[in-house]
Chains A and B, each alone.
Chain A
């Protein structure tokens, strides 16, 4: 089965374009755009980890190593498309236009982090594994129903394919012919559980066969393959040709989250080797250099710009007003019920030092 689903690669580890057909599409402009975006989200990710270490945000889920998958796929979207990220996909979300400040607020335990910028259809991160897949199918279906050309993309991991929601989502999308792309980042671990223990299939793409939808397998560290293959899948969706399952084979370098210790279950030297051999950012850098497109000063400028943007977002996050407890009560329903009204009143009275027991019995 594995050889029915070969890994598509446009640019190899050494930064060489793999086929004549691709040469024309692998342009300097695209390479620079991808490079810039990947530097940007990597800078953010490193900052996320260090903020957590310093106690300035809560538990954080890093994506370092998966930048090509996230940037390539997000850049293949049109402005009005829908994005359904998981907790590890804020790199994709910010590439699609999410606010860095809000993403930081999310990791700092604030609801504001779930709110996308005006006009951006970005769902809050999927926390319970695979639950976002059926949502994406529904949102995509609604676009089709309304007669638009918009489509949806949904992100999830290798472990997520074991949940019922994955299978139910794929089947529904197939039956509804929904304009949705299932973008799987197969980083080969679900926390500590390696892919071999998660499933017997050697690929995730092959699971598409069961639902009679196209399943493709790409090098998730090759941003060109990711971008162009996602673009194709989104185009198919827009053209009314239904859903696609994309398996982007990648790797997370670090811990599952900052609360995880990967040395418990794997040799982290493997990550160190991959940093040298298959790194998505390094690959584009090599491509740029191979073609004489690399400009040291420009690259430094990109780094600096990214650092400044991220630092500014951190400052915004840190000067953001503290959480207003009224928000606990005010957003449960369109109209708060009597329980919430009473609890809110009692809460604020107690805060003001007026003990609850002084009140009239309700």
Chain B
């Protein structure tokens, strides 16, 4: 946690911490507004905006027509014109109508105008598989966004980070895609500081210190990797667990320091391996720490198939067993 004036804490789930982050910023800055499909009365399909319209009014928490290109494009115009829009995409798999607005405009308006026009907006999107959602609701396509310079991409895995990163994203001068691991929305609770605090964008979080292997992951794979790490620790393997938290720009220094210490790297993500963000992590390991590596870097990822229907999504998702195999592989190399 970077800066905080808050002391009092409250137990929250990840989704409650997101609501709390929006509430904090709606109260703090009158230019902040929340918009998206069903975010008003309904409080969002995951209840992330629950009661916010009641508290702040329809001008601050707006239901939009069912039109991602429309309201993301409009949010760009709002941001350029002094507002701080926080737009909700209902599921990451439904962001594609807005893809052009994000890739062609949100991400490069600053470059095009050499800083004259800027787009301080946040796009929130639940992502990922493992909740038995109908098809196409389970995508984890962060990599098609990290590929575009000018857009920051963050992905919290805990309630404290969720709130702090969201506030940092809202205050950030550039557009931020804020990915929410659906699977972690209500899976655990922790004490979250009340009031305003931020978690710095671009900084990973070392969840556990270790000496034998660095396990690098983010989002919904954090609990999966964490389980594997726990089981490997019991077998005497000392694991360092890193939650990346920001996928663009990636925290190079934390990765380099860790993999230089351990000499072994396992990367875990649920997105497809080919073109995945894991490859950027691998490139950082190569660029900064090649000669320190005692084994080839292992990646545990989703397959190069569309995310399967939920009838077998569990087969697709990395499991603690798969992560353990990878750890054993780099250890025994």
Contact of B329 among A165, A322, A356 (CB under 8 A): A356
- The digit string for A35-70, where 1 denotes a CB below 8 A from any CB of B, is 000000000000000000000001100000000000
Chain A positions 325 through 356: 1 when the CB is less than 8 Å from some CB of chain B, otherwise 0: 10111001000010110010001001000011
Compute how far the CA of A193 lies from the CA of B42 in the bound complex, rounded to whole angstroms: 9
Chain A residues, Cβ within 8 Å of B316: 328
Q: Are B66 and A323 in contact (CB under 8 A)?
A: no
B147: min CB distance to chain A, Å = 19
Measured in the bound complex, the distance between the Cα atoms of B65 and A109 in whole Å is 29
Stretch from B3-11, B92-100, B247-255 at the A interface: B92-100
A108 on the B face (CB < 8 A): yes
Chain B residues with CB below 8 A from A340, complex form: 303-305
Task: State which of A110, A129, A192, A361 has its C-beta within 8 Å of the C-beta of B309.
Answer: A110
State whether B40 touches A128 (Cβ < 8 A).
no
* B273, CB-defined interface residue at 8 Å: yes
A174 to chain B, nearest CB (A): 21
Q: How many residues of B contact A (CB 8 A)?
A: 46
**In the bound complex, what is the Cα–Cα distance between A347 and B273 (angstroms)?**
14
User: In this assembly, does B322 line the interface, its C-beta being within 8 Å of a C-beta of chain A?
Assistant: yes
- State whether the Cβ of B326 lies closer than 8 Å to any Cβ in chain A: yes
Taking CB atoms, residues of chain B closer than 8 Å to A30 are: none
Name the A residues within 8 Å of B65 (CB-CB): 159, 162, 193, 197-199
Q: Is the CB of B134 within 8 A of A58?
A: yes
Bound Cα distance from A140 to B37, whole angstroms: 31
Chain B 288-304: CB-based contact to A (< 8 A → 1; otherwise 0): 00000000100000011
B304 proximity list for chain A (CB < 8 A): 332, 337, 339-340, 343
Tell whether, in the assembled complex, residue A159 and residue B66 are in contact, meaning their CB atoms are under 8 Å apart: yes
Note all chain B residues with C-beta closer than 8 A to A339.
273-274, 304
Alpha-carbon gap, A199 to B303, bound state (A): 41
Residue of A nearest to B328 (CB): A357
Q: A265-B42, A355-B328 are in contact. Are A347 and B303 (CB under 8 A)?
A: yes
Q: Does B144 contact A (CB under 8 A)?
A: no
A315 at interface by CB-CB < 8 Å: no
| A110 partner residues in chain B, CB cutoff 8 A | 309, 311
Partner of B303, one of A164, A197, A265, A329: A329
**Cβ < 8 Å to B, chain A residues 244-279:** 259-260, 264-265
Would you call A308 an interface residue if the criterion is a C-beta within 8 Å of the partner chain's C-beta atoms? no
Q: How far is the CA of A58 from the CA of B326 in the complex (A)?
A: 32
Number of interface residues of A (CB under 8 A): 46
A357 touches B311 (CB 8 A): no
Interface residue? B133 (CB, 8 A): yes
The interface residues of chain B lying within 8 Å CB-to-CB of A159 are: 65-66
Q: Which B residues are CB-close (under 8 A) to A163?
A: 66-69, 97
Pair B38/A191 contact, Cβ less than 8 Å: yes
Q: Is B325 a contact partner of A355 (Cβ separation < 8 A)?
A: yes
B134, A59: Cβ atoms closer than 8 Å: yes
Q: Which residues of A contact B332 (CB under 8 A)?
A: 357
Minimum Cβ distance to chain A for residue B205 (Å): 28
Q: How far is the CA of A109 from the CA of B308 in the complex (A)?
A: 9
Interface bits B156-185 vs A (CB < 8 Å: 1, else 0): 000000000000000000000000000000
The residue in chain A whose Cβ has the minimal distance to the Cβ of B333 is A357
Known: A58-B134, A109-B132, A340-B303. A198 touches B66 (CB 8 A): yes
**Are B328 and A193 in contact, CB atoms less than 8 angstroms apart?**
no
Q: Determine if B325 and A191 form an interchain contact, defined as CB atoms under 8 angstroms apart.
A: no
Taking CB atoms and an 8 Å cut-off, the chain B residues in 259-312 that contact chain A are 273-274, 296, 303-306, 308-312
Q: How far, in angstroms, from A260 to B306 measured CA to CA in the complex? A: 26
B325 partner residues in chain A, CB cutoff 8 A:
350, 355-357
CB-based contact A328/B97 at 8 Å:
no
Q: Which residues of A contact B194 (CB under 8 A)?
A: none
B266 to chain A, nearest CB (A): 11
Decide: B315 and A325 in contact? CB cutoff 8 A. yes
Please report the C-alpha to C-alpha distance between residue A356 and residue B41 in the assembled complex, in whole angstroms: 50
CA distance A198 to B37 in the complex (A): 10
A109-B322 Cα distance, complex, nearest whole Å: 23
| Residue among B132, B303, B312 making CB contact with A59, cutoff 8 Å | B132
- B149 smallest CB distance to A (angstroms): 26
The answer to whether B311 touches A192, judged by C-beta atoms less than 8 angstroms apart, is no
The complex places the Cα of A129 from the Cα of B258 at a distance, in Å, of 44
> Quick one: which of A110, A162, A259 has the most chain B CB within 10 A?
A162
C-alpha gap A295/B8 in the complex (Å) = 70
B82 beta carbon closer than 8 Å to chain A:
no
Q: Chain B residue with minimal CB distance to A342? A: B304
Closest to A329 in B: B305
Q: Which of A109, A198, A337 contacts B310 (CB 8 A)?
A: A109
> B310: which A residues are within 8 A, CB to CB?
58, 109
B274–A190 contact, CB under 8 A?
Answer: no
Indicate if B70 sits at the interface (CB-CB under 8 A). Answer: yes
What would 10 more interface pairs be, CB under 8 Å, given A164-B69, A343-B273? A128-B93, A163-B69, A190-B66, A193-B63, A197-B63, A323-B311, A347-B315, A350-B321, A350-B322, A355-B328
| A and B contact pairs by CB, cutoff 8 A, 18 listed | A58-B133, A87-B134, A109-B132, A109-B310, A109-B313, A162-B65, A163-B66, A164-B69, A192-B40, A192-B42, A197-B63, A259-B45, A323-B308, A323-B311, A327-B312, A328-B303, A329-B303, A357-B328
- 3 closest A-B pairs (Cβ-Cβ)? A357-B329, A109-B310, A192-B42
